[in-house]
Amino acid sequence: MSASIGLDYFKDTIGIASTNTAQDSRLQIYLDAAWAGFINEVGRDIIQTTYPAAPDVGRGDNGIYSGGGYRQILLRQRPAITTGMEVYLDSSGRFGQNPDGSFATATKLTYGTDYCLRTDGCLPGTSTVCSYSGILERVGTNWPGRAKYTPGQVTLQPTDGGGNIKVIYTGGWPTIPYDIRSCVCQIAAYIRRNADKGGSMTSESLGGYSYSLGAQVAAGAVPEMGSIRKTVLDYKGVRL
């Protein structure tokens, strides 16, 4: 949850002393909303988690994948590390729903011999080798799919493996990157500024007080949103 960023951290960014607790409940709501919105937009978990599992905010990963006749599969959560990684390949895995049993010990593959993680860096501030790409490679062959008969075709046609791969791994950041903290706090601060008015205020008067709300935030009207958008795209894997 956003508690991983810390309410006091957010309060520091908006100039409220940690000893001033009068608004804590409301500020926590804004911070939770901003954190959930960021995670939802990026489409990936941020907090390091061992999968199959899910953090309080985020989709997580059930660890079930399907081969498709290609050498690589892409892990849903990253950066991923090799520590504790296990991979099982079961042609009758059926997304872990085979009533006769799925992913028995005998279907476990050997790291470095049957598969490997394409490592491309280290976790920030550590020497822990990781994979920011999240690419899991089969060694010497492809991740197998299945074959099906297609009307009009003489030979069987390849299709996905129907949940024939199970991956146990750890993905995400052990500490939330500073740029993500900054973005989430900026979003929460924006929500706070506009919460009392119910929207983005476009004009304000003093005598016989009045104000006007914009139907939507105009492009460039909130400068910090540009940097937030770029950070979101970066963590999505999209480079501007």
Say whether pTM exceeds 0.85.
no
Q: What's the pLDDT tens digit per position in 130-185?
A: 999 999 999 999 999 987 767 776 676 678 899 999 999 999 999 999 999 999 99
Q: Would the pLDDT of 87 be above 60?
A: yes
Q: What's the pLDDT tens digit per position in 197-211?
A: 655 555 555 545 454
Assigned token pair, 135: 């690419």
Domain limits, the chain: 2-46+176-236, 49-171
Which ranges of 133-216 would DSSP assign to H, the alpha helix? 178-195
**Residue 1 binned pLDDT confidence (cut-offs 50, 70, 90):** very low
Q: Which residues contact 132 (CB under 8 A, 6 or more apart)?
A: 78, 79, 120, 121
Q: Which residues contact 164 (CB under 8 A, 6 or more apart)?
A: 66, 67, 89, 90, 91, 92, 93, 144, 145, 146
Q: What's the pLDDT tens digit per position in 31-71?
A: 999 999 999 999 999 999 999 999 888 899 999 999 999 99
Lowest pLDDT segment from 13-17, 98-102, 195-199: 195-199
Tell me if residue 112 falls in helix, strand or coil: coil
Assigned token pair, 88: 């099982």
Q: Which residues contact 130 (CB under 8 A, 6 or more apart)?
A: 78, 79, 80, 81, 119, 120, 121, 122, 123
